[in-house]
Amino acid sequence: MSVDRDGHPPFRRYRRLRQSAGLRRFARETLLHPGDFIYPLFVTFGTGVRREVPSMPDVYQISVDQLEREANELLSLGVGSVILFGIPEVKDDEASDAYDPEGVVQRAIRELKRATPELMVMGDVCCCEYTTHGHCGILDGEIVDNDRTLTLLARTAVAQAQAGVDIVAPSDMMDGRVKVMREALDAAGYASLPILSYAAKYASGFYGPFRDAAESTPEFGDRRSHQMDPANAREAYLEIAADIDEGADAIIIKPAMPYLDVIAGARQRFDVPIAAYNVSGEYSMVRAAGQAGWIDERRVTMELLTSIRRAGASQIITYHAKDAAKWLREEYGAASTAAELVGG
What span, in angstroms and rounded, lies between the C-alpha atoms of 281 and 43?
20
Quick check: is 113 catalytic?
no
Length of the chain as a residue count: 344
Neighbour-count burial for 264-303, b at 16+ CB within 10 Å, e otherwise: ebbbeebebebbbbbbbbbbbebbeebeeeebebbeebbe
Catalytic entry in 91, 113, 201, 322:
201
Give, for 330, the enclosing helix (H) or strand (E): helix 321-332
Q: Which string of DSSP letters, residue by residue, matches 194-241?
A: -BEEEEEEB--GGGHHHHHHHT---SSS-STTTSBPTT-SHHHHHHHH
- For 86, counting Cβ atoms within 10 Å of its Cβ (0-12 exposed, 13-18 middle, 19+ buried), the class is buried
DSSP 141: T
If you count DSSP H runs as helices and E runs as strands, how many of each does the chain have, helices first? 13, 12
C-alpha closest to that of 302 among 23, 20, 24, 17: 24
Quick check: is 91 catalytic?
no
Q: How far is CA 39 from the centre of its chain?
A: 7
For the chain, the farthest-separated pair of C-alpha atoms sits apart, in whole angstroms, at 81
Return phi, psi of residue 166, to 5°: -90, -30
What span, in angstroms and rounded, lies between the C-alpha atoms of 27 and 13?
14
Catalytic entry in 91, 113, 254, 322:
254
In this structure, the number of other CB atoms found within 10 A of the CB of residue 247 comes to 17
What span, in angstroms and rounded, lies between the C-alpha atoms of 184 and 191?
9
Q: Which residues are catalytic?
A: 201, 254
